[in-house]
């Protein structure tokens, strides 16, 4: 025992033993402090758990609420599917500025038409080409594509919108293809009024081919024959018109935007041409023009990238554009005529021409003339449409009267 006590005294005097003692003391102190911290922080951990539980409950409640809302919306859509939405006649003409009047000396229809449009919109161009080809007089209201205050009176927020005066009221016609079909039907047989013909083109609530819930105009590609059929059209011709008019809307027209807005430079060139051909300097203040050009060009440049992907266009979108043009020209070649309609343009000729006319000043159109045989057919249709130019007069007025 005495020997062990002496060994202990010696070790305490050595450096190693002292370091060993200090190391063990530090471990003990650390454990003591850590246990103390744990004890103090326990109430905070309980608060965090309580807040997490409340957050989870709120999130769960919101999720249930959102799910119930979606279920209710789906039920409402299901209930609405197949219902027909009627169009009401306007009691008074909208109080808006009139951009110009296109007057034709050969117009004997007595129709009073007002077209709300963008000058360079392909759908508006389709309608305008039809009006010009048949020599109809009409008023034009140029709509600001950004603010669209000129159509604030309408629940339909797109163009074209065509107002037709019926006695003391105004029939609203929307969707370019329906307008083309209805007016062509009317010109074939004027025994039925425009508002009566409009009943053959009801708007129905339905799911489209992509599963999207939309308001679709029924029969918009069909011509109506109340009393007689078209003498110069057989059933095969009518079916061909239907096929190519639908192709224009569902395929061809989707190649335009990715091409005219292909680069930011081309987007600005396109909007500057829109400004020039649409006479924006006459209809809109300078600051509004600047917003339309700069915001519009940049936005459409971005959107065009998404449209390219959505419609499965080639990496070089020009190739997709040329491909569709060549498909169209090949069909005309097979028929052996100048036009799809033979010796004169039919509705699908006027439709495709109207769509292309909307980009006539763009680089994409100029490239198409160089890389395809588009020019021969296009210029032939243009000559037919412009054949009434010596009998037409365009006047510009400031306000609608």
The three-state DSSP-derived secondary structure of 102-146 is EEECCCCCCCCEEEEECCCCHHHHHHHHHHHHCCCCEEEEECCCC
118 a catalytic residue = yes
Tokens of 286: 């300078």
124 a catalytic residue = yes
- Among residues 116, 121, 322, 339, which one is catalytic? 121
- Predicted confidence at residue 206, as pLDDT, reads 66
- Among residues 17, 37, 123, 353, which one is catalytic? 123
242 a catalytic residue = no
- Predicted confidence at residue 11, as pLDDT, reads 43
Length of the chain: 401
- Predicted confidence at residue 14, as pLDDT, reads 47
- Among residues 16, 17, 51, 124, which one is catalytic? 124
Give CA separation, 74 vs 80, 204, 207, 349, in Å: 10, 17, 12, 41
Bridge-partner residues for 164, per DSSP? Answer: 113, 171
Residue with tokens 């769509």: 355
Query: Nearest-5° angle of CA 181, CA 322, CA 221?
Result: 10
The model carries a pTM of: 0.77
Report residues of the chain scoring pLDDT below 70: 1-51, 60, 67-87, 206-213, 226-232, 389-401
- Predicted confidence at residue 35, as pLDDT, reads 42
Q: What is the CB neighbour count within 10 angstroms for residue 327?
A: 12
Report the distance separating Cα 19 and Cα 23, nearest Å: 6
- Predicted confidence at residue 86, as pLDDT, reads 63
362 a catalytic residue = no
- Predicted confidence at residue 38, as pLDDT, reads 42
Report the distance separating Cα 269 and Cα 309, nearest Å: 23
Residue with tokens 């924006």: 280
Share of the chain residues as helix, strand and coil, in percent rounded to the nearest 5:
60, 10, 30
- Predicted confidence at residue 189, as pLDDT, reads 82
- Among residues 37, 49, 118, 261, which one is catalytic? 118
């Amino acid at each position: 025992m005495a020997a062990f006590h002496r060994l202990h005294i010696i070790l305490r005097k050595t450096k190693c033993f002292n370091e060993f003692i200090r190391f063990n003391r530090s471990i003990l102190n650390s454990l003591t402090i850590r246990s103390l911290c744990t004890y103090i922080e326990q109430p905070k951990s309980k608060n965090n758990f309580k807040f997490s539980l409340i957050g989870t409950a709120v999130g769960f409640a919101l999720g249930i609420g959102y799910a119930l809302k979606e279920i209710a919306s789906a039920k409402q859509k299901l209930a609405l599917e197949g219902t027909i939405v009627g169009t009401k006649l306007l009691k008074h003409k909208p109080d808006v500025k009139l951009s110009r009047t296109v007057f034709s000396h050969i117009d004997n229809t007595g129709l009073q038409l007002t077209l709300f449009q963008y000058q360079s919109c392909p759908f508006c161009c389709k309608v305008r080409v039809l009006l010009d080809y048949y020599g109809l007089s009409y008023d034009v209201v140029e709509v600001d594509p950004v603010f669209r205050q000129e159509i604030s009176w309408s629940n339909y927020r797109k163009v074209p919108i065509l107002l037709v005066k019926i006695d003391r009221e105004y029939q609203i016609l929307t969707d370019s293809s329906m307008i083309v079909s209805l007016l062509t039907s009317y010109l074939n047989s004027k025994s039925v009024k425009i508002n009566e013909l409009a009943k053959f083109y009801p708007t129905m609530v339905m799911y489209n081919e992509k599963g999207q819930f939309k308001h679709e105009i029924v029969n918009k590609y069909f011509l109506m024959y109340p009393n007689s059929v078209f003498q110069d059209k057989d059933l095969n011709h009518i079916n061909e018109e239907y096929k190519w008019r639908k192709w224009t809307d569902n395929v061809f027209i989707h190649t335009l935007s990715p091409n005219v807005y292909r680069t930011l430079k081309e987007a600005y060139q396109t909007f500057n041409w829109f400004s020039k051909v649409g006479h924006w300097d006459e209809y809109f203040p300078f600051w509004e023009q600047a917003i339309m050009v700069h915001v519009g060009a940049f936005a459409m440049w971005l959107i065009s990238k998404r449209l390219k992907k959505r419609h499965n266009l080639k990496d070089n979108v020009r190739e997709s554009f040329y491909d569709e043009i060549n498909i169209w020209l090949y069909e005309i070649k097979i028929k052996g005529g100048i036009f799809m309609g033979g010796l004169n343009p039919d509705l699908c000729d006027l439709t495709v021409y109207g769509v292309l006319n909307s980009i006539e000043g763009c680089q994409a159109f100029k490239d198409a003339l160089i890389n395809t045989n588009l020019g021969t057919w296009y210029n032939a249709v243009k000559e037919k449409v412009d054949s009434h130019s010596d009998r037409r007069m365009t006047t510009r007025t400031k306000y609608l009267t």
